[in-house]
Amino acid sequence: MQFKLSPLLLGPIGVAIAAFGLSPAQAATMQVHVTVESLVAPNSVTFAPLNVGFHNGSFDAFNLGETASAAVQRAAELGDGSLWQAALAAANPSASHGTVGGLLQPGQTSSATFTVDTSANTYFSFIGMVVPSNDFFIGNDNAKQYQLFDSAGHLQISSITQKARQIWDAGSEVYDPAAAAFVGNAGLRTAQGGVINTNFAELAAFNGLTTGAGYVFNSGLSYDQDIYRISFSVAAVPEPQTYALMGAGLLLMGAVLRRRQQKL
CA–CA separation, 264 vs 248, rounded Å?
25
Q: What would the mean pLDDT of 165-187 be, rounded to a whole number?
A: 96
For residue 3, pLDDT beyond 80: no
For residue 75, pLDDT beyond 90: yes
pLDDT value of residue 2: 42
CA–CA separation, 247 vs 252, rounded Å?
9
Q: What would the mean pLDDT of 52-60 be, rounded to a whole number?
A: 97
For residue 246, pLDDT beyond 80: no
Task: pLDDT band for 155, please (50, 70, 90 cuts).
Answer: very high
Give 139's contacts (C-beta < 8 A, 6+ positions apart): 61, 62, 72, 75, 125, 126, 127, 128, 168
Give 102's contacts (C-beta < 8 A, 6+ positions apart): 49, 110
Q: pTM of the predicted model, to two decimals? A: 0.82
CA–CA separation, 17 vs 37, rounded Å?
38
For residue 262, pLDDT beyond 90: no
What structural domains and CATH numbers belong to the chain?
25-247 (2.60.40.2130)
Angle at 253 between CA 250 and CA 256, to 5 degrees: 150
For residue 15, pLDDT beyond 70: no
Average pLDDT of every residue of the chain: 87
The total of other beta-carbon atoms located within 10 Å of residue 190's CB is 11
Percent of the chain with pLDDT over 90: 77
pLDDT value of residue 251: 55
Task: pLDDT band for 55, please (50, 70, 90 cuts).
Answer: very high
Q: What would the mean pLDDT of 165-185 be, rounded to a whole number?
A: 97
Q: What would the mean pLDDT of 53-72 be, rounded to a whole number?
A: 98
pLDDT value of residue 237: 87
CA–CA separation, 84 vs 72, rounded Å?
6
Task: pLDDT band for 177, please (50, 70, 90 cuts).
Answer: very high
For residue 256, pLDDT beyond 90: no
Task: pLDDT band for 161, please (50, 70, 90 cuts).
Answer: very high
pLDDT value of residue 11: 46
Q: What would the mean pLDDT of 114-137 be, rounded to a whole number?
A: 98
- In this structure, of 127-131, 170-174, 229-233, 255-259, the range with the lowest mean pLDDT score is 255-259
pLDDT value of residue 258: 58
